[in-house]
Every structure is written in C-alpha cells, then in structure tokens.
Amino acid sequence: MYKKYIKRILDFILALILLSFFSPLILIIAILLKITQKSVIFTQIRPGLNEKEFKIYKFKTMSDEKDEQGNLLPDEMRLKSLGKIIRSLSLDELLQLFNVLKGDMSFVGPRPLLSEYLKLYDSRQKMRHNVKPGITGWAQVNGRNNISWKQKFELDVYYVEHISFALDLKILFLTFFKVLKRSGINKTGQATTEKFNGKN
C-alpha cells in the first residue's frame, strides 16, 4: 500500500511545500549562476522506474570552459567557487523537486545514474530500477561517493527489498545531517565521482 499509493501522495505534497519554501533561494541561485557563468540549468536524460528515461534537472555547477583544441577542461578546473558552495550544500539538487512533482522521481530511492551504465549492471544491480529514483537514498546516507560502486548498488538493492515508510523517514532524517556536515559529497581527492565501468 505504501509503495504503490501513499509514497507518491506524500512525495507530491512535500514537493509542493518545499518548492514554495525554497522558491526565493532557487531564484537567488539562478541569478548568481546567470551572472557568473551564463548558463543556469543542467539537464540530462537518465533511466528511472523500469529503466524508462526521463529528463533530470539540476543547477549547473560547472562552466563550459574549453581548451585551445575545443575540448572541455577537466572537471576540477570548471568547478568554480560558487559551484563548489552549491554542490557542498547539495543545493544543485533543488531543481529535482520538479522531477518529484512530475512523478519521474521520489524523495527517497536509488539515485538516477547515466543511461550508459544500464548495459554494465548485473541482474541484481538492475533491481535498483524496480522503484523510482530518488533525490536521496540508502547509499547516500551510508557513504555517498566515498564508497565503491558495488557497495552503492548493494545498498540500492537493499532499499528496493526493504522499502517502507519507516526506512524513508530514517533516510530523510540522516540526509539532513549529512548535508549539514557536507560529508561524502565527492570521492576523496576528486572534484566529481568517477564513472562506473562495471568493475569498480
């Protein structure tokens, strides 16, 4: 009952409330990004429930700077001071409230990853797509980007197998403190998370 009906109702109501509450902050961030790096919103196609693709929204925290050959500079060079602050506070995820409102995502669930990873998953890892992807999840409160991909996927599958209102509340509660502590944002020594290659 919770997984099929109640979770979606709670997602919709909470997304409306939070969008209303955070709308001034969203506007301020958008203006600052427009001034400092011109582009504001990052969109990308990601696989969601049952591997159905949708467009995810995030604040764009990296510039589009390129080298003399026209190639994008390394991530750490394109991540400026404002972008670092936005990412460290997880404010880049605020626009995903619109994804929750649309029904593409839930507040809690496995994070939506790149479509190119689909062919790399084993049968158990594919189970992460048996539920809607989330803004936060069990893997995010148990190491986030400082654990291996295999550990993350195992935590994702654990969530799929044990989904409940109590577990969702626990994850949301732990997420709040993780954001305050700014822990596990990126893998130690890296500006962004390394890509999954089917082995790491």
- Of 77, 82, 74, 76, nearest to 40 (Cα)? 82
Beta-strand relationship, 41-47 and 53-59: antiparallel
Whether residue 119 is contained in a domain is answered as yes
Q: Report yes or no on 149 lying in a domain.
A: yes
pLDDT in tens, 41-88: 999 999 999 999 999 999 998 877 777 787 888 777 788 788 889 988
Q: Say how many Å lie between the first and final Cα of the chain, rounded.
A: 36
CA gap 156, 131 in Å, rounded: 10
Residue 77 lies in a domain: yes
Residue 194 lies in a domain: no
Q: Which two tokens stand for residue 18?
A: 């939070």
Write down the pTM of the prediction.
0.86
Please say whether the beta carbons of 132 and 110 come within 8 A. no
Which residues form the domain of 103?
2-181
Name which residue leads in pLDDT, 67 or 160: 160
Q: Is residue 72, in this structure, part of any structural domain at all? A: yes
| pLDDT score recorded for residue 83 | 86
Looking at the 3D structure of the chain, how many domains does it have?
A: 1
